[in-house]
Amino acid sequence: MATEFTGTGDPARSMALLWRTGEEGGPRPGPRAGLDVDRVVSAAVRLADAEGLAALSMRRVAAELDVGTMSLYTHVPGKGELVDLMLDGVLGELYPDDEVPAGGGWRDRLEAVARANWQFFLRHPWAVHLATGRPPLGPGLMRKYELELRAVDGLGLDEVEMDLLVSLVNGFVRGSVGGVHERSDAERATGTTEQQWWAATEPYLARVFDAERFPTAARVGPVAGEELQAAYAPERTFEFGLARLLDGIGVLVGGRSGPG
């Protein structure tokens, strides 16, 4: 499993690809292209969805398209840019009705943002592992940013607070969903299930664990383990965190726009 970087290539080329502003006048000399950016990107997304970011290699993508490996480089500068294009592309799937689905309140809207992102990361596990320090500033991300900002607009917050709030919710979801995929990724990578791993590990832990040194852990660990090792545990963690987070945001928003 690799954490890929976004924004590793020439910004001019990257932006041109993201916004599909490749100048193409009439027909040009050379053989008709059988391949194009979209075919490469969607093959890569299919592969990453199905087998994870670790399985995403230029050779595998090329094989999926029945094409030589180096042919990909005619359409995409390199793997970094390909990942940028993949991410911006799938971000466009969010909010199909072109708005954050919600009732009237900010809390409904932010909850909808969180749940939409949660579903998104479930569909595209590999997106969790992308470093977005230099995000792909393409149409997909721009649209997402716009729609999510609207969810916190008109609450009496200044621009910086709006941005921080959207980032806070997004960061929380990304972190929470990590827990889901770390389980399935680990199973794929090791070939053993969570239960098998725990069954193999627990006896050794019991042997070395000192309940006198760690009394609180001895009390909490088993209960929490029992409860949170179940299949629905990540959802549970997500719901708990989301409730706390929205409560906390409520303190800020409530204080800003008056009581109520």
Rounded least distance, CB 88 to its own copies, Å = 12
CA–CA distance from 238 to each of 1, 174, 177 (Å)?
23, 10, 8
Cβ–Cβ under 8 Å, residues 73 and 35: no
The interface mask with DNA, positions 21-60, x = CB under 7 A, is -----xxxxxxxxxx--------------------xxxxx
Residues numbered 59-88 forming contacts with DNA, rule: CB under 7 A: 59-60, 67-71, 73-75, 78-80
Side-chain half-sphere exposure of 61, counting CA atoms within 13 A: 31
- Long-range CB pairs of 195-202, under 8 A, 24+ apart, other chains included: 198/229
Q: Which is nearer to its own copies, 17 or 62 (CB)?
A: 17
DSSP helix/strand/coil, 200: helix
**By CB under 8 A, is residue 176 in contact with its own copies?**
yes
Site for its own copies in 114-173 (CB under 8 A): 129, 131-134, 137, 142-143, 145-146, 149-150, 153, 158-164, 167-168, 171-172
User: Looking only at Cα atoms, what is the longest distance across the chain?
Assistant: 78
Residue 11 engages DNA in binding (rule: CB under 7 A):
no
DSSP β-bridge partners for residue 5: 131
Question: Is residue 81 near its own copies by the rule CB under 8 A?
Answer: no
- Which residue(s) pair with 131 in the sheet? 5
Interaction site with DNA (CB under 7 A): 26-35, 56-60, 67-71, 73-75, 78-80
